[in-house]
Each structure stands twice: as C-alpha cells, then as structure tokens.
Amino acid sequence: MVASEETANGPLHGIVVLDLSRILAGPTATQILGDLGATVLKIENPKSGGDDTRAWGPNYARASNGDPTDLSAYFMSSNRNKKSVAIDIATPAGQDIIRQLAARADVVIENFKPGGLAKYRLDHATLCAAHPGLVYCSISGFGQTGPNSHRPGYDLMAQGYGGIMSLTGEPDGQPLKVGVGIADVMCGMYATIGVLAALRHRDQTGEGQHIDLALVDTQMAWLVNEGINFLTSGNLPERRGNAHPNIVPYDAFQVEDGYFLLAVGNDAQFQRFCDFLGQPDLARHPDYATNLKRIENRVALTSLLRDALISYSKSEVLEGLEQRGVPAGPINTVKEALETDQASARDTVISISKDTVQGGSVKLLGNPLKFSITPVTYRHAPPHFGEDTQDVLEAFGISPPIK
C-alpha cells in the first residue's frame, strides 16, 4: 500500500496529543493515536538530537547522497503520523511553550521518571489542575507508587521482573526475552486503551484525569493463562519452548526439510490428525483420547509424534492437515512473512512518501485495524528531528523561544 500526506478525518480527527515520550512504549501509543487521526506533536530535546532511538542503528533511511539520516529503522517503527517539535523543556522558555501547547491539547503522554517533570511544573498535578479536561498519561517502569517507583524502566528488565522470561525458551536452556520489545509495545497498547477510555469519560463529563501506567504492571497483566494457572494451582509454570501448558499436541515439530507448527485444539482435531498419520488407533488409546490425558502423558505422546513426523516433508504435512481441518502452519522468516500473499492482501507493508530519503519514500509496517467507516490513514512519514517546529508553533499561535 502506498500512502501520502493526504488529509482524512479519522475517528480521532481533531484530538491533539502532546507527546513527551521517547524510545518505544509511549511512541507506540502516540503512533496509534496518530494513525486514528489525532494530531500528534512529538516534543524532542535539541540538546540530545531528539529521541534516543534516532541513533539506534545499524539500519537507517538514507539521504540521496547515501549518507544515513536521523531516521533509524527503530525510530521509524513507532513515529509516523507525528510532527517533530524541537523544544528544550529544561529552559523557562521551553517550559512556557509546553504549557501553551498543553492548554490546546486533549492528551499528554510522557515517560519521564516519576516526579521528573515536577521541577518544570509540567507534571500531571500541575497541568491537570490548570486544564481540568486534560487526559494525562504517565508511563514508567514501575508506576508512580510502590517501593520500586524510582527505578528506571527498560523492556528487558520488565520482562525479567514480570515473569515472562521465566516462561520463554527451551526447558533446559536459559530464560529468554521475546525477540522484540514486547513489554514496551504492550504497555503502549494499554496506554492507548486507557487514553481512549479517558477521552470517552471526558467527552461525557468534561472531566480529564491522570493515567498511571507501568511496564511491569502491564507485563504481569499479560501473563494471561500462565499467571492464572499459577494462581489457581500454586504450581510454578515451566518453560516448554514452543509447547502449550494446557493443550497437547501444540508445538513445533521437525520434518525432513525443516519445522512446522501443529496446534491441535480439541479431541476431534486430534482424531483427524491421527488419521493423517495413518494411526487412527492412537486417537482411541486411553492415554491420548482426551486432552486431559494427553497433557498427563505429554512426554510419551510427543516422542511418538516426533518419530512419526520426521519422514514427512513440510508441504505434505501442511497440505494434508489443511485438508483435514487440523491447524498447522509454517515458521516463516521475517522476509517470508512480509512477502506472503496474505500480507499483501491486508496491507501489512505500507510505503509513505518522504522526499528527503533515497527513493522518495519509506517502507513501514501498517496498522492492523480495519475500519468500515473511518479507516486508518498514513498522513505523515516519520519526521526528521525538529522539522515541524516552526510550522507547529505558528499554527498554535506561539512565539518561538529567543535564541
């Protein structure tokens, strides 16, 4: 899909978001809000050259002469549909500009350490008191309260503290983080949900509010079934690699030319799977006839299935199981995934015009939301540092700081 800076009225058209966040969790939330039509003003520090992730290479959009720009792939992953405004909030003039923008904003999102903005009088208590309809979302590692509230928040540390690493990896291997910054991304998702709910309340009552959100809190919240498995039984969940704690067989299995994924969700699917293997009696065996028995006899059954599948090819297994209605699928590389016909049909990869880079556009991952009336729009490519400062200040009637 090719997109440009067209004007469109998304579901959040008219909402102004003052984005004081950086790295990934906050920018994920503000990018989603921008995709939905909000005007997002990304405030960046001129002393540091902007968001830290602008320098997180090695992959960058390149200028026409081949030199890397300040648009790293990491930065571009969460900063489209935003205007970059270079403001030094450590100065009185910069603080005054932020207060003027906050007076015109519907939402403020920040991820400073708790209390870090109070010295500039840009904290939630100050701005919400001045603007009672303001929705102010604070993202931090451990939240605004509690014994660890002073500690910084990083995705890796949140995954470790919050328990997900203890469940990720092979049973006899070391605990592993998820391959992308999933704690940050999911925190950004929760922030988006919280902001939308608070805006709904604001629109009904005129009353804004403060949202206190922590990476660690959100990571623990999406322990989902494994968290409840522990709370229900008292038994500590185990690392099982690709296997499932509550369903068997549900795992990656090796065949003669690689691996495939098998996800047998019920007893009828298991019967059809055994029919594919030419072993219908296996589905009637008292040790394997029900999912409960398959869980109890997980090791023995998995060993039998690994021996039975090793002589098949991936195409034989995937085609044969699809014909029988048994869930199975490939393990794609990123390249394979993004080049599938499904990805093409669903606009998973988009291209946004950017005349300052080679080729005149940047490729990004599209927003998965599909609206029937107010579609997601891609109006602005990720901005260069400070490129919109003058335009934004003029649009809001604010005088630039005196240099």
Q: Looking at the annotation, which residues are catalytic?
A: 184
Q: How confident is the model at residue 1 (pLDDT cuts 50, 70, 90)?
A: low
Return the pLDDT at 401. Answer: 72
Nearest to residue 210, comparing CAs of 286, 125, 309? 125
Does position 6 have pLDDT exceeding 50, yes or no?
no
Percent of the chain with pLDDT over 70: 98
For the chain, list the domains and their CATH numbers: 5-222+348-396 (3.40.50.10540), 250-332 (3.30.1540.10)
Q: The tokens 């792939």 sit on which residue?
A: 73
Query: Measured between alpha carbons, how far is 385 from 42 in angstroms, rounded to an integer?
Result: 10
> What mean pLDDT do residues 71-92 have?
98
Token pair of 100, please?
């003027």
Nearest to residue 87, comparing CAs of 22, 146, 175, 20? 20
For residue range 89-120, list pLDDT tens digits in order.
Answer: 999 999 999 999 999 999 999 999 999 999 99
Question: Cα dihedral sign for 320, 323, 324, 326?
Answer: positive
358 DSSP assignment? G
Return the pLDDT at 8. Answer: 62
Helices 267-277 & 298-309, crossing angle to 10 degrees? 40
Biggest CA-to-CA distance, the chain: 82
Q: How confident is the model at residue 7 (pLDDT cuts 50, 70, 90)?
A: low
- Evaluate the omega torsion of the peptide bond into residue 237 and state whether it is cis, within 30 degrees of 0: no
Q: Hey, which residues does 86 pair with through a beta bridge? A: 44
Token pair of 255, please?
């065949």
Contact 18, 393 (CB under 8 A): no
Rounded to the nearest angstrom, the gap between the alpha carbon of residue 269 and the centroid of all alpha carbons in its chain is: 32
How far is CA 132 from each of CA 61, 83, 98, 285, 305, rounded to the nearest angstrom? Answer: 41, 25, 16, 66, 62
Percent of the chain with pLDDT over 90: 96
Q: What is the DSSP string of 121-171?
A: T-SHHHHHHH-TT-EEEEEESS-SSSTTTTS---HHHHHHHTSGGGGSS-T
Does position 5 have pLDDT exceeding 50, yes or no?
no
Mean pLDDT computed over every residue of the chain: 96
Return the pLDDT at 4. Answer: 42
242 DSSP assignment? T
Contact 30, 18 (CB under 8 A): no
For residue range 277-319, list pLDDT tens digits in order.
Answer: 999 999 999 999 999 999 999 999 999 999 999 999 999 999 9
Q: What is the pTM of this model?
A: 0.95
Computed over its alpha carbons, how large is the radius of gyration of the chain? Answer: 25
Q: How confident is the model at residue 183 (pLDDT cuts 50, 70, 90)?
A: very high
> What mean pLDDT do residues 25-38 have?
98
Contact 20, 85 (CB under 8 A): no
Does position 378 have pLDDT exceeding 70, yes or no?
yes
Query: Measured between alpha carbons, how far is 219 from 323 in angstroms, rounded to an integer?
Result: 38
Q: Hey, which residues does 62 pair with through a beta bridge? A: 68
Query: Measured between alpha carbons, how far is 304 from 310 in angstroms, rounded to an integer?
Result: 10
